[in-house]
Structure 1
Amino acid sequence: MTKQLNHTNDHASFSAPIEDLQVRIAFLDDLVEQLNAQVSKQSLEIAALQKQMQILYQRVEASDLSEGIAPFDPMSNKPPHY
């Protein structure tokens, strides 16, 4: 009778840590899926931002900024608080 009781206690003492590990693995699997979804979303956003930056750089390179900007002379163009 004592052997059977000890066997039951051994089984219970082994199953509790295993169940805890299974629960932790389930949570970790869910966390990995959430992080993967977030990384995928951010990857798409980064690609869209890179396209927008490329368009802006092309516009800046194509435009002639020298016509609209007057030369700056620090001696004659002092800010009003000087």
Structure 2
Amino acid sequence: MTKPPYDDQASFSAPIEDLQVRIAFLDDLVEQLNEQLARQSLEIADLQKQLQFLYQRVEAADLSEGIAPFDPLTNKPPHY
């Protein structure tokens, strides 16, 4: 008993098409993730530069002028 040849062709064609569709979607997803990663990398680099700038400004500022040191014994919050 042999199967007709058209059954073999149809049985191989559908799974191959499904795999091709999945590969196309996965390729698109990988491309979208790559673009998102590139955008986030640029944003992180920008934020690091801003943070470094803020650190430099804080170090350059003399914070001791006009600010009294905190003494927990004399500076109690009003609810105590």
After TM superposition, the score normalised by the length of structure 2 is 0.94
Counterpart of 1:12 (choices 3, 10, 13) is: 10
SS in 2 for 1:26: helix
Q: List runs of 5+ in structure 1 lacking aligned partners.
A: none
- How far residue 72 of structure 1 moved from its aligned partner, in angstroms, is 1.1
Residue 57 (structure 1) aligns with: 55
Q: Percent identity?
A: 77
How far apart are the structure 2 equivalents of 1:72 and 1:47?
36
Superposed displacement of residue 9, structure 1: 0.6
Q: CA RMSD in A?
A: 1.4
Which residue does 1:35 correspond to in 2?
Answer: 33
Structure 1 segments of 4 or more deviating over 3 A? Answer: none
User: How many correspondences in the alignment?
Assistant: 80
Structure with more helix by fraction: 1
